[in-house]
């Protein structure tokens, strides 16, 4: 067992953030020192009572389950500040404290392109996702996606067909596969690439996980290619996150009569690069791949316009308070759908207006 | 007979430019006074010897043919400075001295959209050209195109189907129809809209006429919509002219596997507005239609990048001299195709580097 695993797991299960861990390390020394503090000393750090409680009296069953899982040589816990922690992710707003990885950790350190889109694409869209991914994986780029059906699946498969590396970020615990139909694909991905999750083992595919997970897909990638996406779909949120993270955004145009081209066209109007061939992407990514460490913090090509109308945000802000509320409660109060809420809450969280708490609860910050 | 027709026709047949006519009017009074000057006085104006000769000894046969043509009530000669001369055209670089019009002169004064594209479009492209034109003509916009087969034909027909007005600018004399297959369509256009040409009666469809004619299609229009166009096609020249004239440029995206979407995608990358619906165009044009007189001279949305590689322009400049050369001679000297030469020469002409002379000859200016 890695000496610090238990301590990182305790901190992770306490929902300690990467921003908070720096303060704690400054105060107490190592992660082992942090979790070794008495409850009274811990609270002096400014950490919330809820988090102090979770550190002082950890969920031993969950920790032990994770430690068991980590016994496998292919299973890894990558924590903030470690060499294995991807530089690209350390640069994004709201970086994960730690990641569960099943597979090849080195895959997280090669230049990557995210390929995303609709779960119900056209045949043409599916083929494009496959062909672009195959070509770019063949050129040495890792292909990152979300293991969903449709474009995600085609992207992972394209990379595998080229004998290249592909990475799937999960919206569940690392020990679960969602959707179940992609179990075989998940195995193939983990063989030379990686499955990655920031959720606890056993975590179900909660709806609010997916937009949150999307910031990792865009964040680990030099660029995000949207193949086919409807207006107001999750793919556009990922594209917007990519832009806010200073990453490139690429979109494939399509017929004006194809509803799944609408989202791509919207992105192009907002400044995403219109892509016709894999060479168009290579031309943009190759120079970036040379100095991956410098890519963050530059302003993205998309205007930070709201993906949802301002009225919707006004409704959501009215529904929120400093008392944590579940997404189901917010749904009732705001009249917005869970899908809308999930992405809007993530945007507000990245802007620092909202804090996400354990159990999918949200509260105004400050 | 309109009192000044004969004089305008003499000046037009002498290739006097709109820029020159102002000087001549200042010096001599009316157009009748200009053509009444003795050859010796005329040359004092700074007009070239060739033009002075053509005014002093006009081509009476050609003038008489044009005057006969003008006997028809539906036939018009609209000259620089007249009320019937469209304000939109007076604002462009290289405005025509006069236009031959067959049909309804009022059609030249309503807000217009140019709809252009490939002569060999896909069925989908043809249908889009038709449907957009029908919708916008139904909203009161004149649809302007070039009477060619393919997109042009679909655009004119769409406008006619809506009972709207449509205008065709010809690359031949006004008394000819090219291609001949569009004779019926030409009649239908002239019934309530207009056929327009700046070439002498009987002029054949010379290849260099078409890019030159394109500046009138874009210039009379508030915006130009490119429906389907190959890379390096004439439609892109028209779009570029539109941008240089301060007009809007719209392009329909398409599948990355449709070669005729490539030209549109190139335009979108250069800043043309990506259009999915007729409403997208209406939203842009309606505010402009309110103050048509103010639309000129603003810089266009496209970068003035060469539509042809710089190397090609270098070759062309080497082939050109101050001695007029025919386009066939330039073809031999430069190794460029007639199609390339036609559009490149027009660009250079609009930039003031090249002067076009009678008989399709070109020379360096100055």
- The 10s digit of each residue's pLDDT in A64-123 is 999 999 999 999 999 999 999 999 999 999 999 999 999 999 999 999 999 999 999 999
CB contact under 8 A, A256 and B276: yes
Size of interface A-B (CB pairs under 8 A): 48
Distance CA A100, CA A75 (A): 7
Half-sphere exposure of A215 (CA within 13 A, CB side): 23
CB contact under 8 A, B256 and A269: no
Characterize B334-348 residue by residue with b for buried, 16 or more Cβ atoms within 10 angstroms of its Cβ, and e for exposed.
bebeebbbbbbbbbb
- Those of residues 99-138 in A touching chain B at CB distance below 8 A are 124, 128
pLDDT digits (tens, 9 = 90+) for B60-104: 999 999 999 999 999 999 999 999 999 999 999 999 999 999 999
Report the residue from B124, B255, B273 with minimal CB separation from A124.
B255
What's the pLDDT score for residue B236? 93
Contacts of B257 in chain A (CB under 8 A): 124
Global confidence as pTM: 0.81
What's the pLDDT score for residue B300? 34
pLDDT digits (tens, 9 = 90+) for A193-247: 999 999 999 999 998 899 899 999 999 999 999 999 999 888 999 999 999 999 9
Mean pLDDT in chain B?
Answer: 90
Cα distances (Å, whole numbers) of residue A302 to A243, A246, B39: 6, 9, 64
Would an 8 Å CB–CB cutoff place A268 in contact with chain B?
yes
Q: Is B143 helix (H, G, I), strand (E, B) or coil?
A: strand
In this structure, of A35-39, A291-295, B131-135, the range with the lowest mean pLDDT score is A291-295
CB contact under 8 A, A253 and B253: yes
Would an 8 Å CB–CB cutoff place A252 in contact with chain B?
yes
Decide if A103 contacts A194 (C-beta within 8 A): yes
Decide if A296 contacts A245 (C-beta within 8 A): yes
- Chain B nearest-CA distance from A315, in A, is 28
Decide if B152 contacts B178 (C-beta within 8 A): no
Cα distances (Å, whole numbers) of residue B34 to A58, B40, B56, B98, B101: 101, 12, 10, 16, 24
**Interface pTM, i.e. ipTM:** 0.77
Statement: residue A303 has pLDDT above 50: no
Decide if B158 contacts B143 (C-beta within 8 A): yes
Q: Is A363 helix (H, G, I), strand (E, B) or coil?
A: strand
Statement: residue B295 has pLDDT above 60: no
Contacts of A253 in chain B (CB under 8 A): 253-256, 261, 265, 268, 274
Statement: residue B46 has pLDDT above 70: yes
What's the pLDDT score for residue B350? 65
Statement: residue B343 has pLDDT above 80: no
């Amino acid at each position: 067992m890695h000496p610090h695993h238990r301590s990182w797991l305790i901190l992770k299960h306490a929902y300690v953030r990467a921003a908070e861990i720096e303060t704690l390390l400054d105060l107490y020394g190592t992660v082992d020192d942090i979790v070794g503090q008495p409850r009274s000393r811990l609270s002096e750090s400014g950490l919330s009572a809820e988090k102090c409680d979770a550190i002082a009296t950890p969920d031993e069953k969950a920790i032990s389950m994770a430690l068991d899982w980590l016994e496998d040589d292919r299973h890894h816990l990558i924590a903030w500040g470690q060499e294995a922690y991807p530089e690209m992710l350390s640069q994004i707003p709201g970086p994960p404290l730690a990641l569960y990885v099943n597979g090849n950790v080195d895959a997280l350190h090669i230049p990557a392109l995210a390929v995303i889109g609709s779960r119900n694409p056209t045949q043409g869209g599916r083929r494009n996702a496959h062909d672009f991914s195959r070509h770019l994986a063949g050129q040495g780029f890792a292909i990152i996606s979300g293991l969903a059906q449709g474009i995600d699946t085609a992207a992972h498969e394209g990379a595998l067909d080229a004998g290249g590396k592909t990475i799937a970020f999960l919206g569940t615990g690392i020990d679960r596969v969602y959707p179940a139909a992609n179990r075989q694909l998940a195995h193939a991905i983990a063989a030379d690439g990686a499955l990655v999750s920031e959720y606890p083992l056993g975590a179900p595919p909660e709806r609010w996980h997916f937009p949150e997970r999307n910031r990792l897909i865009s964040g680990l990638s030099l660029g995000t290619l949207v193949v086919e996406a409807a207006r107001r779909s999750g793919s556009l949120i990922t594209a917007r996150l990519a832009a806010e993270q200073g990453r490139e955004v690429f979109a494939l145009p399509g017929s004006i009569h194809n509803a799944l081209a609408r989202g791509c066209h919207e992105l192009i109007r907002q400044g995403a690069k219109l892509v016709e061939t894999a060479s168009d992407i290579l031309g943009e990514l190759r120079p970036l791949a040379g100095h991956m460490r410098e890519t963050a913090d530059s302003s993205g090509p998309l205007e930070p316009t709201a993906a949802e109308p301002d009225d919707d945000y006004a409704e959501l802000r009215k529904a929120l308070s400093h008392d944590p509320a579940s997404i189901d409660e917010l749904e009732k109060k705001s009249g917005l759908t869970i899908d809308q809420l999930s992405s809007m809450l993530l945007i507000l969280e990245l802007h620092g207006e909202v804090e996400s708490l354990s159990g999918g609860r949200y509260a105004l910050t400050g």
